[in-house]
Amino acid sequence: MRCRGECALFGRTFDGVMAWGLIFLLEPGAQVKLIHKVAAALKPGGRFLFTSPQRVCKWADCITGHTSISLGSDGYRFRNMTYRCATCGNSHEGLPDMGFRWPEPCFGVPEAERDSRIKATSDTCSIDDEAFFIRGIILIPIKGRDDHFGLGVWVSQSRYLGAEDDGSLSGQQSAPSD
């Protein structure tokens, strides 16, 4: 099966798409069009990973012999890029933060038991009310830009503070006395 021209990516949506050294074989305008088309075909929270030289350049592809063209890192940054947020379901502009829905230990819980054993919000998670996690975002500056890349990370805690319906904190413990 091949996808050419005005292909709708087989009418499917994807959790992730990866292109390793392939996009460069397209003309620059077709590269941009393809990136937007793939972005539109991603499921909420889906990711598109592709390789890109940092600088604008041309070279002969070693397998096909065809001319490859890189738009460079600046050329692949799209000011009007939109994505659908997996948490809120809304569309947003710019570079999305990346992270996982749950911390890694949750994937060790059998799928059939996850609803009863895992309690999670977008920022906190507990397994069996024994293992506790808080999500944070590490902001990584993008060189030469006022923008950043946000990497969501889960941190394990012995216990976490949760907000009650009235906004007060639960689980708060007194500081240990000396």
Q: Where are the beta strands (DSSP E) in 7-128?
A: 14-19, 42-50, 57-60, 67-70, 82-84, 91-93, 118-120, 124-127
99, burial (CB in 10 Å: exposed 0-12, middle 13-18, buried 19+): buried
133, burial (CB in 10 Å: exposed 0-12, middle 13-18, buried 19+): buried
State pTM to two decimals. Answer: 0.48
Long-range (24+ apart) CB contacts under 8 A made by 87-93 are 87/122, 89/44
pLDDT tens across 119-171, in order? 998 889 999 989 999 989 898 887 766 777 788 899 998 775 554 544 444 44
Q: Stretch 63-80: mean pLDDT, rounded? A: 80
> Measuring CA to CA, how many Å separate 87 from each of 37, 90, 122?
22, 8, 7
pLDDT tens across 72-123, in order? 877 877 555 667 776 777 877 766 777 888 899 999 999 999 999 999 988 8
Tally of CB atoms within 10 A around 70: 20
30 DSSP assignment: H
Instruction: Tell me the domain boundaries of the chain.
Output: 9-93, 104-170
